[in-house]
Amino acid sequence: MSLAESPAPNSQAPSGTSNSPHAGLAANHLLDTVLPVRPALIDRGSAARLKPGMLQELLHSGAALAMVLSGRQALVNGSSLVLLNAAELARHLQDTPYAPEQLIYLGSAMPGSDLEVGTELVLFLLPQQFEVQAEEFEAHIAGIPDGAQWAGFRDVAATLNPTDTAIFVEASAIANWHATHTHCPRCGTATVPEAGGWVRRCPSDGSEHYPRTDPAIIVTVVGADGRLLLGGGGPLDARNYSTLAGFVEPGESLEQAVVREIGEEVGVRVTACQYLGSQSWPFPASLMLGFTATTADTDATPDGVEVTRARWFSRSELQEAVLSGEIVISSRLSIARSLIEHWYGGAIQDRPDNP
C-alpha cells in the first residue's frame, strides 16, 4: 500500500470488528501513558563497542570518565558519583593490588543528562577479593574528593541525580552478569570478555554469551470495592507492606504470570490486568514489569512462604496507617510505590521520620 492509500490517522477500525474491545477506536490507537516514561540518559553505543580495541583507544584519548565499582559498591561523594579521568586512573592503578580485573564500556552522555553531551563513560571493576576503602584508594589515586565513601546503590539512590542513577544501575547490571557468568555453560571453559565487556566468548567452542535480564511482574491488586491488596514476607508482626510480585516462567505471558503469581501467593483470582510501566532492578538482574489487576475476591490467604501477611486497604486506611507508623510501604525509588500511588490517585504522605 502506498502512503497515498494509507488510512487517515483518525480512521476507524474495519467493519466486522464490533465485538472487539477496541471497536470505535482509531486504528493503532495508543492509550495515554500511565506511569511516566523516563528517557534514556546514556547511549550504550552498541555499534561503537564492537570495534576491536575501542576501549584502549578510549583510554588513550584521555577524555573518558570512569566509574569504579568494587563488589556492589561505588565511590560516592555526598549525593554524587565520583567519576575520575579514565586514563589517569588506569595509569595510577597499574601494578597495584587495585588494578581492575575488568574494563567495561558504559556509553556516552545523551541530551538531558547532567554530563556534557558525548562524554564517554567506562567502568573499572576492581577485584572482589579486596575490601576497598577510600583512604587506601587515595594512596594510588589523585582527584578523589575528601569525604568520598564506598556505598551501595540502595544506600544513596534517594539522593543521586537521574544521570548518576542511570550510570549506577547500568554498571551494577553488567557487573553482576560478569560475576556470575565467568564460564561457558556448554563446556565449562573460562570465557573471554569482548565487545567492550558486553559479550563473553568461549575460546574452546566459539560460543558467545550475552547479559541476561530476568522479567518479573509486580502488581497492585484491586478489589471490587476499590480496596488495594498489599502483602509482605518475614515475621507476622513486621510492618512492611508492598505490592505482590514474582518471576515470569518459561513459556508464560506476562498476563499469565500475573494471574498465576497472585493466585499462588495470596489465593486471589485475577479477573483482568493491565500493564502500567517498568523499572530496571539489576540486583542481580531483574526487569520489574508493573501491572494493576482486578479481582472479585474479598479474602486473601498468604502462602506462608513468600507472603506471610496480606491486607486490604481503602485509600483513607492506607494513608492513616502510613502516617501513624502502623505500616511502612515501599520507598519512592521503587516502581512499587509508583503503582501504589497510581491506585491512590496521588502522592501518599510519608511519616515524617520515615521519608
Arithmetic mean of pLDDT, 31-54: 86
Per-residue model confidence as pLDDT tens digits over 170-202: 999 999 999 999 999 999 999 999 999 999 999
pLDDT at 125 > cutoff 50: yes
Q: How confident is the model at residue 131 (pLDDT cuts 50, 70, 90)?
A: low
Domain 42-180's class?
alpha beta
How many DSSP H helices and E strands does the chain contain? 8, 17
CATH topology identical between 42-180 and 214-344: yes
Nearest to 108 by CA among 199, 55, 41: 41
pLDDT at 271 > cutoff 70: yes
Distance CA 201, CA 184 (A): 8
pLDDT at site 130: 66
* Least trusted range by pLDDT, from 21-30, 54-63, 182-191, 327-336: 21-30
Arithmetic mean of pLDDT, 131-142: 71
User: Helices (DSSP H) in 40-97: which residue ranges?
Assistant: 54-61, 86-93
Per-residue model confidence as pLDDT tens digits over 228-251: 999 999 999 999 999 999 999 999
Predicted model pTM:
0.84
**Angle, CA of 193, 194 and 198, to the nearest 5°:** 85
Distance CA 262, CA 257 (A): 8
Residues whose CB falls within 8 Å of the CB of residue 310, separated by 6 or more in sequence, listed in order: 229, 230, 231, 266, 300, 301, 302
pLDDT at site 94: 82
Phi and psi, residue 195, nearest 5°: 50, 50
Arithmetic mean of pLDDT, 303-322: 97
Radius of gyration of the chain (CA): 24
Q: How confident is the model at residue 316 (pLDDT cuts 50, 70, 90)?
A: very high
Arithmetic mean of pLDDT, 266-273: 96
Distance CA 71, CA 49 (A): 24
95: helix, strand or coil: coil
Distance CA 176, CA 189 (A): 19
Distance CA 252, CA 343 (A): 26
pLDDT above 70: percentage of residues in the chain? 88
Arithmetic mean of pLDDT, 12-16: 41
CATH 3.90.79.10 for domain 214-344: yes
Distance CA 349, CA 319 (A): 7
82: number of Cβ within 10 Å:
23
Domain extent listing, the chain:
42-180, 214-344
